[in-house]
Structure 1
Amino acid sequence: MTVDDRFTAGPQEASEVPEGTRSEIVTGPVSDWATDFSHLEPEWAADPYPILDDLRERCPIARTERFGGGWLPTRYADVAAVAYDTERFSSRAIIMGNVRPPRELAPMGDSPPISSDPPFHHHARKLLLPAFTKSAVARREAATRAYCHALVDTLEGLPVVDAARDYAQHIPVRVIADMLGFPPEDGPRFRRFIENVLEGVNKPAEERTAALDELYDYLLDQIRDHVDHPRDDLTTYLVKAELGGHKLEAAHVAGTMALLLIAGIDTTWSAIGASLWHLARTPADRERLVAEPELLPTAMEELLRAYAPVTMARLVKEDMTWNGVRMRADDWVLLSFPSGNRDPAQFERAGEVVIDREANRHAAFGLGIHRCVGSHLARMELRVALEVWLARIPSFELADPAAVTWSTGQVRGPRTLPLRLGAR
């Protein structure tokens, strides 16, 4: 048996984060989105775009006292300015909630590289790049396509299916499990981890800590198994990797794996589901893509722009005045890439879905140094998922528009998506 002292601590000790600044989350009806916004409200989950359009016109940098205080820039230019400004905004916390990790957690953060500040970020990100190049991703396409076909096989003969639950969510679960060398049958656990981390930010801090302990218990079990039984996967790679001539800290390895497991699944699950939702409710676009499958790569970028799933958070480093507003140290800033993608100052017909849009420098994968390292992988999964679905199920519609539900929090996508198959 191989022993690696980095991973011999108990799970709680290895995942424990120093006490940060706590603040109570207050949810409930929003009095005015310009001064009291909350991304956890049901109307935000159901349809945030009218809210964001209104704010962009009358109060482009909204404020809230919830979560201990935060800001919401809604214009593309402002979102980009924060994303690129690592001098005044820290990434040590990317999920806006009731706990602010202490400043001592920087520059690594708890989920490197997405939670890392420069200069540490550059080295942590560079470690992951080989696994996410176009050529590395291309080697996974055949298996992904075969799995999508297998999922569709299980839906044959059913008049109504839940495309979010029975199709979209399973694809990134299988891909990420294969990359990390995790048992694919653990998919239900992955989904529970995602809900706890991304949708459970309104829970008491003690419950959130318990949920994180469960996640890190699992990750450390997987790491120890890979230490004892190395194989050709990303977990073994991280266990063996070095920075500056030293093996990665246990917290670095586990934090990066948590990032890949949670972000790698939820964002793609959401993008696939939102794309199918759009095509189900827009017959002209669906019929055109069935007739012109070569248009899909272009259409896919437009669907990513229009239904970008991800909003990221930053923390203000020091008291300052920024673009006319007085920000306090440790204020949250929500980077709404979905709002930036619908800014008329940046995109013509910004509020429309134009599936043959050619000029489309959208921000669905983020902006700045933290632009998604897995964008090639996400694009492959989305393209293959849509190619297989449209080839096998060219005709479908929403079975009940009112039955569609969307996730809350900073990653938005359909969680229930009943589709009637064979609809004309």
Structure 2
Amino acid sequence: MTDRFAKNYAELRDDQALGTRNEIVTGPVEDWATDFSHLEPEWAADPYPIQDDLRQRCPIAHTDRFGGGWLPTRYEDVAAIAYDTERFSSRSIIMSNFRPPRELAPVGGTPPISSDPPFHQHARRLLLPAFTKTAVGRLEPATRAFCHSLIDGFAGQDVVDAARDYAQHIPMRVIGDMLGFPPEDGPRFREFVENTLEGVNLPPEERIARMEQLFDYLLEQIRDHVANPREDLTTYLVDAEFGGRKLEPSHVAGTMALLLIAGIDTTWSAIGASLWHLAKTPADRERLVADPGLLPTAMEEFLRAYAPVTMARLVKQDMHWAGVDMKAEDWVLLSFPAANRDPAQFDRADEVVIDRQVNRHAAFGLGIHRCVGSHLARMELRVALEVWLERIPAFSLDDPSAVTWAAGQVRGPRTLPLRVG
């Protein structure tokens, strides 16, 4: 069994190395409509004015960076592409200077999020039992206890980095426990996240080498689970069958990588952004402290206003689409954050309205790839905020200029110094 996994990993790495490579032209952007780059510091710091401007004057922006790509900023365009699996492929969902070979479709490197129909449906269905509301509910007591333990750990401090000391650790522990990984490996998970999602500006060879560190770790965990099966998601995937056969090792490892990376960074970012908003908006913080029952509604508004995730697609063939000429293998960035702030879709779209009643946001994506872990993410976000507001009802930004945000396709605070008490 473990030999089969090791052999398949070697083949997968060889396949990935054959992908199309393009050099990135980095540096300042003069016109976001014709030369956008989601890796620039001003985009990480505050992308919303840029998106609002593009939505008005050039709703589908273009860039020659990364070998060519497009950035729709209207909700209707983002939704149309998300639902169109005939003309747009999901085989690579991170826009970078490296395009995996077309042969990876319809499975992709991290199924089901990288999978195209019809394979996608089967890969997604395998995961559903682990992420139902009932299954997630069983994880809530341990999550709540862990949040309390994190706050116990920095009790007495006047200033706390809520991103590094609180937000990041919660999904690391929850996802790590679900997969059956050692709790002490948390710091490695952060490194894997940053290599995968924030290292896209690296030379392709270096990026692949860093990804190999992640897959070497996953292979190590798979070997341990094959030798010592237990009740966790890794053993479940190793034992799972599709069409009467065991899953391909690349499928098992790719899904584990997806759960580890996406499951950590998205929720880490959502928790951090929510605490950032409450720290700088005392009226909202005080209202939630006085009325905890409003938190589920407020939480959905935080997800809308500060949606952390942008996904990529690849154009399957040359075509004229919504007024622009797209070429085969062009990237398309599906900015769910931009869609969520489209005034054609949301009233007072640029405001954070914590009692917003109608809120059909796209923070968890749209179409067949809507986040399979949305129940889990909502539980972690809710519990993290409940515990924080219960234990630390008064807090503010210690130094607004010291807050830093992740660059790339998952945006959230990376440093968030808060003055507590």
Structure 1 residues 47 and 153, CA gap change in structure 2 (3 angstroms): same
Counterpart for residue 380 of structure 1: 379
Q: Which residue of 2 aligns with 1:407?
A: 406
Aligned length: 420
The offset of 1:14, in angstroms, is 5.0
Q: Would you say 1:9 and 2:16 are equivalent positions?
A: no
Q: Aligned Cα RMSD in Å? A: 0.9
After superposition, give the CA deviation of every residue in 1:240-276 in whole Å (9 maximum; x if it has no partner): 0011111000100000000000000000000000000
Ranges in structure 2 where 5+ consecutive residues have no aligned partner:
none
Match of 1:111, as an amino acid?
T
Pair 1:294 & 2:293 matched = yes
Q: Deviations over 1:199-248 (max 9, x none)?
A: 00000011101101111100000001000000000000000001111100
**Where does residue 241 of structure 2 map in the other structure?**
242
Match of 1:352, SS state, is: coil
Secondary structure, counterpart of 1:17 in structure 2: helix
| Equivalent in the alignment of 1:230 | 229
Corresponding residue number in structure 1 for 2:336: 337
3-state DSSP of counterpart to 1:419 = strand
Q: Match for residue 322 of structure 1?
A: 321
**Does the CA-based 8 Å contact 2:8-2:250 persist in structure 1?**
no
For residues 148-196 of structure 1, the C-alpha deviation after alignment (integer angstroms, 9 at most, x for no partner) is 0000111211000000000000000000000000001101111001111
* Structure-1 separation of matches of 2:126 and 2:62: 37
Asked if the contact 1:279/1:286 (under 8 Å) is kept, the reply is: yes
Tell me the equivalent position of 2:174: 175
Inter-CA distance 11–106: structure 2 relative to 1 (3 Å threshold)? closer
Work out the CA distance in 1 between the residues paired with 2:212 and 2:374.
Answer: 29
* Letter aligned with residue 120 of structure 2: H
Amino acid at match of 2:372: V
Q: Distance in 2 between matches of 1:61 and 1:124?
A: 31
The answer on 1:157 being equivalent to 2:156 is: yes
Deviations 1:25-53 (A, max 9, x none): 11100010000000000000000000000
Residue 220 of structure 2 corresponds to: 221
C-alpha distance in 2 between matches for 1:287 and 1:299: 13
1:204 — aligned with what?
A: 203
Q: State the one-letter code of the partner of 2:223.
A: R
Paired AA for residue 17 in structure 1: D
Which whole-Å CA distance do the structure 1 matches of 2:355 and 2:111 have between them? 36
- Tell me which amino acid in the other structure corresponds to 1:212: M
Query: Is the contact between residue 320 and residue 327 of structure 1 (CA under 8 Å) also seen in structure 2?
Result: yes
1:130–1:33 Cα change, 3 Å = same
2:257 is the alignment partner of 1:258: yes
After TM superposition, list the pairs within 5 Å mapping 1:337-376 onto structure 2.
337-376=336-375
Q: Which runs of 4+ in 1 moved over 2 A?
A: 3-6, 8-18
Give the TM-score taking structure 1 as reference length: 0.98
Structure 1 residue 280 and structure 2 residue 279: aligned?
yes
Q: What SS does structure 1 have at the residue aligned with 2:15?
A: coil
Give the conservation status (yes or no) of the 8 Å contact 1:309–1:338: yes
Q: Tell me how far 1:107 sits from its aligned partner.
A: 0.2
Aligned to 1:185: 184
- Asked whether the 8 Å contact 1:26–1:66 carries over to 2, the reply is yes
Q: Percent identity?
A: 79
How far off its partner does 1:102 sit? 1.1
Does the 8 Å CA contact 1:15/1:251 hold for their aligned counterparts?
no
**CA shift at 1:365, angstroms?**
0.2
* Kept after mapping to 2: 8 A contact 1:223/1:235: yes
Q: Which amino acid aligns with 1:74?
A: T
What letter matches 2:181 in structure 1?
Answer: F
Gaps of at least 5 residues in structure 1 are none
Aligned to 1:392: 391
| CA distance in structure 2 between the aligned counterparts of 1:6 and 1:395, rounded to whole angstroms | 54
Alpha-carbon distance in 2 for matches of 1:193, 1:135: 29
Match of 1:72 in 2: 71
Mapped contact 1:15–1:216 kept (Cα < 8 A):
no
On the 8 A contact 1:216/1:254 being kept in 2, the answer is yes
CA distance in 2, matches of 1:337, 1:12: 35
Q: Distance in 2 between matches of 1:135 and 1:316?
A: 38
1:61 matched to 2:63? The reply is no
Between stretches 28-37 and 14-23, larger displacement belongs to 14-23
CA distance in 2, matches of 1:368, 1:397: 38
Q: Distance in 2 between matches of 1:177 and 1:237?
A: 14
Q: Who is 1:307 aligned against? A: 306
- The answer to whether the 8 Å contact 2:91/2:106 transfers is yes
* SS, match of residue 272 in structure 2: helix
Calculate the TM-score normalised by the size of structure 2: 0.99
Alignment partner of 1:51 is 2:45: no
The AA in structure 2 aligned to 1:7 is: F
Q: Is the 8 A contact 1:6 1:250 kept in 2?
A: yes
Secondary structure in structure 1 of the residue aligned to 2:7: coil
